[in-house]
Amino acid sequence: MSRRVTQRDIARMTGVSQATVSLVLNNRSGDDVRIAPETRQRVLDAIRTTGYVADPVARRLVSGRNRILGVFTYEPVFPSTAADFYHPFLVGIEQRAEQLGCDLLLFTSSSQVSGAGGAGGGADGGAGGRKIFHADSRIGIADGTILLGRRVDRDDLVRLVGEGHAFVSVGRRDDAGGPVPYVGADYPAAVAALVERAHELGHTRIGYLGSGGPAESHADRLRGFQAAGGTVHLPPHNQQPPHNQQPPHNQLPLHGWLDAIERERLTAVLLEEYADAAALLAAARARGWSVPGDLSMAALGEPSGAGPLDETITRVRIPRREMGWQAVEQLTAAIEGVAVAGAVAGAAGGTVVQRLLPCAIHAGQTLVSRR
């Protein structure tokens, strides 16, 4: 096997010092770096001719960076098909990392038993079985980490913020001992736009169906609904249907919702999750209701699984690819210490970037004028 080409070899071939080769490799320029254009080109030609590849360990020793970005997922998201909820996030992360010349490292050896709720509970209702910090944590291998998942462990966030780790959450997160850097979806604006649209269509009794928390994404949806003048919040419940109508267990809350919609004289409802909207649509029609004739509806999110998508349902479209893309951009800027507009004061005197990206509305056919 041929010997690996080194910087010393490149220096000898081009008649320059090894320090000059290093400066060219790291694209260093400026008043303190004086390399003639023809010398720089000679080094670049030698690198291209020999197929030289920089030793990542050596580059880390010089720059303190290895251009590896970690991706930590709180739920299993790989492998992911194009129909999966996480696929667009991953596409955006991969595309931008490739453009920036960064490799991605997926952290998977982190399965731990973590309590749901309490001190170990996740910001989205419990972290399940994964934690970043454990006895064999390898988070330090990467220059920084992207957090991806609906459930994020609160203890992890507190430690990441407190210890000054470079990280970005995909999805808005509440403060954890200080502001959390994130790229999220602007749910309040999207939901408010749907409420306003329903008002324009003549609906005055509009309901919000869902928990409204504690997950930040759910709280944001409910906040947008209330700010725009939404009428009634109907949280999930397990009210039983009539004894002669026994649906599958996972559909029990739907009959309570249908009864409440009738009782509250609602003519339009916004459902926190797409799956609930699809199920309520079927349950309402099974009860003999016309949708959207008797009841208009819209989903405030995307399908969470790889099942069929009903394009007739009006819904909020989350900018998932863009969120992944900008998470990489934001993380690399933080690693390199590049100032970014819109930063807020961090916990340790630095700055933290928090971005909310606009959502689009898929018009569908289930939100129409009141008859």
- Give yes or no for residue 106 having a pLDDT over 60: yes
Q: How far apart are CA 196 and CA 225, in angstroms?
A: 9
Q: What string of DSSP letters covers 82-144? A: TTSTTHHHHHHHHHHHHHTT-EEEEE---B----SSGGG-BTTS--TTB-S-STT--GGGSSE
The CA distance from 183 to 12, in Å, is: 47
Q: How confident is the model at residue 122 (pLDDT cuts 50, 70, 90)?
A: very low
pLDDT number for residue 349: 63
**What ranges do the domains of the chain cover?**
7-63, 68-184+320-359, 187-317
Collapsed DSSP state (helix, strand, coil) of residue 146: strand
The reported pLDDT for the residue numbered 253 is 67
Rounded CA-CA distance 276/312 in Å is 15
For the ranges 13-27, 60-74, 197-211, 344-358, the one whose mean pLDDT is highest: 197-211
Start-to-end CA distance of the chain, whole Å, equals 79
Please report the pLDDT score of residue 32 as a whole number.
59
Which has the minimum average pLDDT: 2-16, 89-103, 332-346?
A: 332-346
d(CA 302, CA 325): 18
What is the Cα–Cα distance from 171 to 182, expressed in whole angstroms? 6
- The CATH code belonging to domain 68-184+320-359 is 3.40.50.2300
- Collapsing DSSP to helix, strand or coil, 231 comes out as coil
d(CA 75, CA 143): 22
What average pLDDT does the segment 45-65 reach? 66
Least confident of 53-67, 189-203, 209-223, 297-311: 53-67
Q: Is the backbone peptide bond immediately before 79 cis, with ω within 30 degrees of 0? A: yes
Sign of CA dihedral 270, 275, 281, 283: negative
| CATH architecture of the domain formed by 187-317 | 3-Layer(aba) Sandwich (3.40)
How much is the pLDDT for 240? 43
pLDDT of residue 5: 79
Kindly report the average pLDDT of the chain as a whole number.
83
As a 3-state breakdown, the chain gives helix, strand, coil percent values, each rounded to 5, of: 35, 15, 45
User: Bridge partners of 64?
Assistant: none
List Cβ neighbours of 283 (8 Å cut-off, separation of 6 or more).
Answer: 247, 251, 254, 255, 258
Judged by average pLDDT, the poorest of 191-205, 249-263, 323-337 is: 249-263
Q: What pLDDT shows up at residue 3?
A: 63
- pLDDT, residue 26, reads 72
Structure tokens at 94: 């991969």
Give residue-wise pLDDT tens across range 311-355: 999 999 999 999 999 999 999 999 888 767 667 777 666 788 999
State residue 364's pLDDT score.
Answer: 95
For 124-138, 212-226, 234-248, 257-271, which range has the lowest pLDDT when averaged over its residues?
234-248
User: Where would I find the beta strands (DSSP E) of the chain?
Assistant: 68-73, 103-107, 144-148, 167-170, 182-185, 206-209, 232-234, 268-271, 296-299, 314-317, 343-345, 351-357, 360-362
The closest of 152, 224, 144, 230 to 187, measured between CA atoms, is 224
- Decide if 228 contacts 192 (C-beta within 8 A): yes
Model pLDDT, residue 36:
86
Q: Does the CA dihedral 316-322-324-329 come out positive or negative?
A: negative
Residue 260 φ/ψ, nearest 5 degrees: -70, -35
The helix (H) or strand (E) run that includes residue 296 is strand 296-299
Domains 68-184+320-359 and 187-317 share a fold: yes
Strand positions, DSSP E, 245-295: 268-271
Contact (Cβ atoms closer than 8 angstroms) between residue 296 and residue 370 = yes
The class of domain 7-63 in CATH terms is mainly alpha
pTM: 0.76
By the 8 A CB rule, do 228 and 166 touch?
no
pLDDT at residue 47, rounded to an integer: 85
Alpha-carbon gap, residue 191 to 45, rounded angstroms: 55
- What pLDDT band is residue 244 in, cutting at 50, 70 and 90? very low
Mean pLDDT over 52-65 rounds to 57
